[in-house]
Structure 1
Amino acid sequence: MDVLQTGGFVVNTLTMLVAIGSSAISYLVYKDSTSPDVIVYLEQNENSKTILNIVIKNIGKSAAADVKFSFDRALPRQAFDGDASSNMTDGAFIQAIPFFAPGTSRVFMFGNYAGIKDFIGNEKIKVTSTFRKANSRNPFSREMSNESYIEIQSMAYVDASDNSNSRKIAESLSKIEKALVKLKQ
């Protein structure tokens, strides 16, 4: 009888530990899926493929508050071929973002491939984003951080030809204008 009680106690203890473990894992998955997540990256400008933008995006499922950025080296305001302007002194990267809704982004024109390559070279710039969950009811909510990298190497040989509809419309209007001038003469 004593062996049965001990065996039952062990089984109940193991069952309790499994239940606690699965509850903890469920909580961590829930917490992770409802947190903000702010990233920074380079992308091609949709309207002018030779221009690269810096994008700040909240890819998380919750709003972020007091989003601040720090860099391992200063960023220029813009970096075009032969002209890396003065360091960035204002804007979201400097003054922060007070409230950043989920799925939203801030897009800033940064420069062209040659200008950014001259500035960054083969290195990468580490961007640390710090923020907290907006409207958190947890009095012990802590600040979160995320590291992103701005690098130009992966943009080498990316197609930057402009096949946009606006360019095609502009070319067509130019042809129409030339035809009308010929007709007028």
Structure 2
Amino acid sequence: MLTGDWISIFMALIATASAVVTFAVFRASTDPLVIVYAEPDLARPSIVNLIIKNIGKGPAHNISFTSDRPLPCEAFGIGEPSTVARAMSSGPIVTGIPFLAPEQKLSLTWGQYGGLHKYIGSEPIKISATFRRSYKSRMFSRKLSSTTCLDIQTFERSESSEHGFGPNIVKEMKVLNKTMKCLEDHLTSVNQTNHENT
């Protein structure tokens, strides 16, 4: 082959690679990406929320979810309860979501560490989300998917697994109340002594 032929082939390869990179950048800047994860609720200590979020750059349509085993629902209990929570039978994880805008998220009250750990155990639940791009053209509307793991052991020894802010306040208030009672008794005793001396 002539040198000119090799140059032509090389230029064609560069053009092809450039087109692939351009398409990949375009996809990254326009595709949705829906994930599911657990997150502590900062406004309600000890509560763990289940978050569904579109972290991609484009809107997601017709979102549905599958998991390798059922998810728990309302699994409450800071310590492990005596009974196991029921399986999730309603809500967006079960029924799906028609639309999520970029960076939009749904937050579901999932439970507390003890109740969730009692149900899930040490083996994470794998959950997959399937969704479509927003393009009207069928050529660009093929299904996309993502898989995440829900592992409650991540929260062991965290604020979510401890008694939390609310119960700690109650405990501190009881100690304070006991101290105030002792102080009140002491002041009453001192007043009585002073009254008797006068």
Normalized against structure 2, the TM-score is what?
Answer: 0.75
Q: For the residues of structure 2 that align with 1:45 and 1:131, how far apart are their CA atoms?
A: 27
Query: Residue in 2 aligned with 1:109?
Result: 109
CA-CA distance at 1:87 after TM superposition: 2.0
Q: What residue in structure 1 maps to residue 90 of structure 2?
A: 90
User: Residue 32 of structure 1: CA displacement?
Assistant: 2.2
| TM-aligned CA deviation for residue 41 of structure 1 | 0.4
Deviations 1:61-112 (A, max 9, x none): 1110110011111122211121543222211011110111110111011111
Percent of residue pairs bearing the same amino acid type: 32
Q: 2:37 corresponds to which residue?
A: 41
Question: Is the deviation greater in 90-99 or in 23-32?
Answer: 23-32
SS for the counterpart of 2:50 is strand
Q: Quick check: 1:52 aligned with 2:48?
A: yes
Kept in 2: contact 1:78–1:84 (CA 8 A): no
Which SS does the other structure have where 1:75 is aligned? Answer: coil
In structure 2, distance between residues paired with 1:152 and 1:85: 14
Q: CA deviation at 1:46?
A: 1.9
Structure 1 segments, 4+ long, off by >6 Å, are none
Which structure dedicates a bigger proportion of its chain to helix? 2
2:156 aligned with 1:153: no
2:143 aligned residue: 143
Partner Cα distance (2:85, 2:13) in 1: 60
Unaligned runs of at least 5 residues, structure 1: 172-185
How many Å separate the matches in 1 of 2:61 and 2:17? 31
Displacement of 1:49 in angstroms is 2.2
Q: Does residue 69 of structure 2 align to residue 80 of structure 1? A: no
Q: Which amino acid aligns with 2:138?
A: P
